[in-house]
A and B are shown apart, each in its own frame.
Chain A
């Protein structure tokens, strides 16, 4: 691990990884006390992936977590009580008891899109968020996660292909934890490196050791910067391991003992602590300070969550539809002149017209215009200077760079 982080960044990563683990440890206790209504999914051993990637985003950026990305939510600013209450199906939870786990979002402030259980759906959705952000001039990047299992869904392909053709500012974290429920990755995908999937879409990709917090963060930071600069979507494969079963009910006896032992010895928090101590950024006292800070916070958060009421039954019948402005005032946040996307400035001129084309019964015009690829904006052809208002997303050929970051030490552990 190289020292590429500021002191603050180094300590933030540590704090959020510890918080991530502590929140999930507390939920295991709540689960055993029957205070969690549904299933409980764990990201034990994968904290560096959630925290390191989400920490690379700016406040204005958008993310959509998957089930094992509680850490990403905490980094984005979600209070632990919200995570507790979601699992406990409480009325004060973000979904007020209508959904559980990490299935919640916040369009207004935190810029989080809620996942659903069907894997891969977030990829085109976050592509759309990224395209809209670019259209509105917001210079945002969007990020979501997918597992090794989810990378086999059709919508993974549809979404990533569309993102690539649109050069959407989107970063996809492929969290390869080696198991899709009980099925090992080798039985799902005939690839050694899932990052190779990026080649099919002509986009850049990285492979990173998902248990190395510094490598994850610095790789994600670079990918986010490149996506923001207009290079298009970027895929990061983080190689890691799911230490517990698919959910609490699953003892995961199908996992070979040696594999588990290998990864337990590479616990991302222990590895990172060793690194921080070597860098003199952490000692026994400051470590204890972090632990106390988290304990105090979580005790209060848990108390709040436990005291929250269950939702009133009749609440089930409400909220299917938005009833209008009094329910949601939907206004896009423009950060570029609207004139750029309205005629005449938005208008494009046809490359050529074909006599008779479009003159059928349905058409009001005799010669309809034909547009191919690189038509310019009308305003440009009229002699306006400066760059085209509507930057043609499709016309810049993708620059393909493939590089590996991090140690990639996981290969020998995979079987």
Chain B
């Protein structure tokens, strides 16, 4: 775990360090994507990588998401461990067929592992508008064969990205861009990974469980602090990985609190909250003392204008209100 001699770094720096260190460690790791080389990435997550690792390992591509994913897949068949960057994760759906039909099904169908990472900045709250704010994680959580990671802290971002590079499966890695420069955290000085598929309890509590991830994890913690002032102790779980989902951590917590609120920035219908509700009904029905509640974005595209986007997104107030309502059961 984290050494005490670590330093405080931004979420963005954590991504950069993970890629740098993995490329340093293993010459099979290469990076390809739009503007990742010369420019160092639209958010500067790959700054300096071209200078250090050269043209063969840091590959600027045409604006061709299907070609980026397809080529990364071909490279992975040759034993490389490519990291494919999507400049904004919204554009990942341009490669939807490559990912869901080609990359994801290979191991099941013909025993072909594809050790590759597909990563990019996601999420709203930065007034990016409908095509630069998406949370498309559930399209892929619905696809067997993929792993889907969505971290909330620099420590997890770095450790999980390293784990993703070393994993033998195709991994989608979502980086919430609201966190890039706003969140700082300590990382150890040495090499470490965070296991894929394990949630973590960020705050202990006994009255209800709030399950969240990515930027909404911070929103949930903020709400939990406010709830504590009113005597409601919320347990906050950070999923970190959405596929495979760590059911055990959720069930353990709900067994204790008997109430569950899921908070996500993704839209409501088909969001992971619905899946968690089903799991609780199947496996913890007797433990529940209240309905599963959800605080999510609206079922609309992400609107551009700040008042619209604020209305669209969940926030600490909405989480606080929902949690209070749930606590009354």
A interface vs B, CB < 8 Å? 94-95, 98-99, 103-105, 107, 113-114, 116-118, 121, 123-133, 135-136, 142, 154-155, 158-159, 161-162, 165-166, 319-324, 327-328, 330-333, 338, 341-343, 346-350, 358, 360-365, 368-372, 377, 389-394
Contact = CB atoms under 8 A, between A and B. Distances in A.
A328 B168 CA distance: 8
Which one of B43, B69, B82 has the greatest number of beta carbons of chain A within 10 Å?
A: B69
Nearest to A318: B108
B53 A362 contact: no
A389 B67 CA distance: 26
B113 A328 contact: yes
B130 interface: no
5 contacts: A162-B64, A360-B44, A362-B10, A368-B44, A390-B54
Contacts, number: 225
B106 A114 contact: yes
B53 A368 contact: no
A216 B143 CA distance: 41
B278 to A, nearest CB: 19
A347 B54 contact: yes
Nearest to B43: A362
B30 A135 contact: yes
Contact of B55 (A98, A104, A332, A348): A348
B97 A390 contact: no
B1 to A, nearest CB: 22
Nearest to A154: B66
Contacts of B226: none
B41 to A, nearest CB: 9
Nearest to B114: A322
Contact of B70 (A103, A128, A332, A392): A128
A129 B106 CA distance: 15
A184 B102 CA distance: 28
Which 8 pairs between the two chains have the least Cβ-Cβ distance?
A: A128-B74, A124-B70, A332-B79, A128-B71, A132-B78, A346-B54, A158-B64, A322-B168
Contacts of A333: 78-79
A332 B80 contact: yes
Contacts of B168: 322-324, 327-328, 330
Contacts of A118: 97, 101-102
Contacts of A121: 66, 70, 97-98, 101-102
Interface in B114-148: 115, 144-145, 147
User: Chain A contact residues: over half helix, strand or loop, or mixed?
Assistant: loop
Interface in B4-54: 10, 12-13, 24, 27-28, 30, 37-38, 40, 43-44, 47-48, 50-54
Given A368-B48, A372-B38, A130 B74 contact: yes
Nearest to B53: A346
Contacts of B24: 343
Contacts of B113: 322, 327-328, 330
A142 B73 CA distance: 14
Given A128-B73, A322-B168, A324-B168, A155 B67 contact: yes
Contacts of B57: 135, 341, 346, 390
Nearest to B110: A114
Given A121-B101, A346-B56, A127 B71 contact: yes
A104 to B, nearest CB: 5
Contacts of A361: 181
Interface string B59-73: 101101111111111
Interface of B: 10, 12-13, 24, 27-28, 30, 37-38, 40, 43-44, 47-48, 50-57, 59, 61-62, 64-82, 97-98, 101-102, 105-113, 115, 144-145, 147, 168-169, 180-181
Nearest to B38: A371
B115 A158 contact: no
Nearest to A391: B56
A382 to B, nearest CB: 14
A162 B169 contact: no
Given A162-B64, A346-B54, A124 B109 contact: no
A337 B72 CA distance: 22
B78 A136 contact: yes
Contacts of B76: 128
B72 A128 contact: yes
Contacts of A347: 51-54
A94 B111 CA distance: 9
B71 A131 contact: yes
Nearest to A394: B55
Nearest to B73: A125
Which one of A165, A322, A342 has the greatest number of beta carbons of chain B within 10 Å?
A: A322
B110 A94 contact: yes
Nearest to A112: B110
A129 B74 contact: yes
Nearest to B17: A364
Nearest to A316: B108
A321 B66 CA distance: 22
Given A154-B66, A363-B44, A370-B38, A133 B78 contact: yes
A107 B106 CA distance: 11
Contacts of B12: 362
Nearest to A114: B110
B48 A365 contact: yes
A347 B23 CA distance: 12
B55 A132 contact: no
A370 B47 CA distance: 10
A98 to B, nearest CB: 5
A255 B105 CA distance: 36
A351 to B, nearest CB: 10
A216 B61 CA distance: 33
Which one of B30, B44, B61, B111 has the greatest number of beta carbons of chain A within 10 Å?
A: B111
A40 to B, nearest CB: 19
